[in-house]
Amino acid sequence: MIATDQKMLSADGIVVSYGPRPVLHGVDLSLAPGETVALFGHNGAGKTTLLRTLAGLKSSDLGTLRISGKDVSRESASSRARLGLAFVPDSAGGVFGSLTVAENIGIVCSDKQARENETLDLLTDMFPVVLKDKRRQLVSRLSGGQRQMVALAVAIAREPKILMLDEPSLGLAPVVVEQMLAAVRQIARQLGAAVLLVEQDMPAALAVADRVHIIKQGNIVLGSPASEFPSADDLWKYF
């Protein structure tokens, strides 16, 4: 049972603009330990802006953000990362193309070789298409989808308290996406981490989500348990 009364992350009244153009209009969002929340919306609805703002890569105009109860509204991205927030963008950011897969993961493993091997073994079960036979391969020689898996593996190797994923399915086959998201949910629950997932593959996201939000023109217009999420026929009125 997920303790949803606890809040690993709490965003209240988040307002963000790009110059004179408002993008987010007082967004409220919370994540509980071990919970997976899916965020849906059309292109330009504000999904990526919200993730970047929560990660500290974009400043908010108004609003409060707390991580484990600590106000981090004016803290830097690195400070939020030290508190356990990990963000995996859709461009496979956070990995070094000049390093191997194992070296990228080894950077974030605190106990070096023993920890690296243990983490690699765990992540190999999640991403066998990349990590089983490509541990010593340069990341720059992997496909875009494979680099995205490495970026996610690096984030998980940090054992984050909060894991935010922006379109992790890009470049991946549907069956791989299903396996990956199921593994992310399993690991998150083992770590007690909260997951915020932006994903266009609705069926795959709904299969692992505990709660769902829809964002439209910078506003959260729907929030519900995944089990009570509207059917596809009723869903379009929210977009």
**CATH hierarchy code of domain 1-84+160-225:** 3.40.50.300
pLDDT digits (tens, 9 = 90+) for 90-144: 877 778 999 998 888 888 875 555 555 666 676 677 777 666 778 888 999 988 8
pTM: 0.89
Using 50 as the pLDDT threshold, list the residues of the chain that sit under it: 1-4
The pLDDT of residue 142 is: 87
Residue 112 pLDDT:
52
Specify the pLDDT at position 156: 85
- Return d(Cα 128, Cα 216) in angstroms, integer: 36
Give CA–CA dist 164/158, Å, rounded: 13
Residues of the chain with CATH 3.40.50.300: 1-84+160-225
Residue 3 pLDDT:
47
Distances (CA, A) of 115 to 24, 79, 119, 122, 188: 40, 24, 6, 11, 18
Contacts of 226 (CB under 8 A, 6+ apart): 38, 206, 209, 210, 211, 212
| Dist CA 183 CA 29 (whole Å) | 24
